[in-house]
Chain A
């Protein structure tokens, strides 16, 4: 194994893969990726594959818009069909409060240049003819939202990165980070030690554990999310549907399968990724309420993954205060796949040229200083 590298990336999910590619493309090729299992074994390979821009904070909206811009031409750029389907996102609302929240979100999104709009139930049915429009009071729709296949995206990024010299060490676990005089000077792994230039923490739900090895506390919490996929049926929806009422999401893959899930507000933080019967029952109930025609469709498989959730549901990005060669690229709170191409660009700009973009500045770990102190009182 290599004894040193300009950049050590911890985690071969979509963030690590996209960043490795972006760096290699710019000529920074001495890049080493450590992956505890194999590429896409964490959240990237377990997610629904949605690429949504309809967020409610300016940073999330901007990152997602930049990413869609990249995703639109990514198949061509990587030479891998990422199964990008730009059929928009339809977001359902069932109460007056939710409609009001949608109105505000659309106003902010439009201000930032996103072509989202508020729809009546009847207009929503035009977007998704199988929708039972009597279940909703309003919807929002953004035609440039999309979904894609995360396996193909990560495979494409890694293949092109490795061609340019990036080294992937899979089944290699980072076990410690040695800090000296405000820098990480050694990355200890299950297969040997490496002297890093820069270290990037892209370990998803395990990022908090990685950061602790360097004495850094992240406010991130792992939260299980369950998901299921059906047998394939004729292609009938290019739109991805979510509901702010119950947290359901579903879309149809290029293969014709319906992939989707639903959040559980009762879920406690932890590393449990077992599958539950309760999830399937709740998902089926809510899915069939919105789209009754799917009742005969069979579920093939269910699984779970971990969101890496921050207190404000925005990622932790950029250099770590007090440890300038330690870069955070985590805390995506369930949205990592959507924004990875943009995150990779911002982080590569910092690693290559030292540029701290406005996004990196605003999404730095620094922003939690007060909150972390507050939370410490609750826990302790």
Chain B
């Protein structure tokens, strides 16, 4: 079973940086989705796959929360509270789950 190589396929620019590195989603894509009405973190995840890659949002969710708070005017705490944390938090192979 070959792990899919995950080469960098997109680069951000100074004006439009990558926000979610796993799924290679840029700032302008996030802002556009928010303005289309995907205005909670859970909706953004489903729309753009942000936070759903191997890092499980550890890198991008704080950034996304700030962008969302700025775009919607809602307090950062409130935006962050809406995230559902899903185990196992770090990738763990099936062999280990099965046990011996």
Contact = CB atoms under 8 A, between A and B. Distances in A.
B42 interface: yes
A284 B94 contact: yes
Given A155-B47, A256-B4, A302-B86, A38 B94 contact: no
A294 B94 contact: yes
B1 interface: yes
A256 B3 CA distance: 10
Given A233-B1, A234-B2, A300 B87 contact: no
Contact of B56 (A230, A234, A256, A301): A301
Contacts of B95: 284, 288, 295-296
Contact of A236 (B1, B87, B99): B1
A4 to B, nearest CB: 23
B4 A300 contact: no
A303 interface: yes
Contact of A299 (B40, B46, B97): B97
A293 B98 contact: no
A261 to B, nearest CB: 13
A300 B94 contact: no
A233 B6 CA distance: 10
A300 B54 contact: yes
A73 interface: no
B92 A299 contact: yes
A56 interface: no
B54 A231 contact: yes
A298 B92 contact: yes
A288 B56 contact: no
Contacts of B52: 300-301
A297 interface: yes
Contacts of B93: 295-299
Interface of A: 38-41, 45, 151, 155, 230-234, 236, 256, 275, 280-281, 283-285, 287-288, 293-303
26 contacts: A39-B43, A151-B46, A230-B94, A231-B91, A233-B4, A234-B1, A234-B4, A256-B4, A275-B86, A281-B97, A284-B97, A288-B94, A293-B1, A295-B94, A297-B93, A297-B94, A298-B92, A299-B88, A299-B92, A299-B93, A299-B94, A300-B53, A300-B54, A301-B52, A301-B88, A302-B86
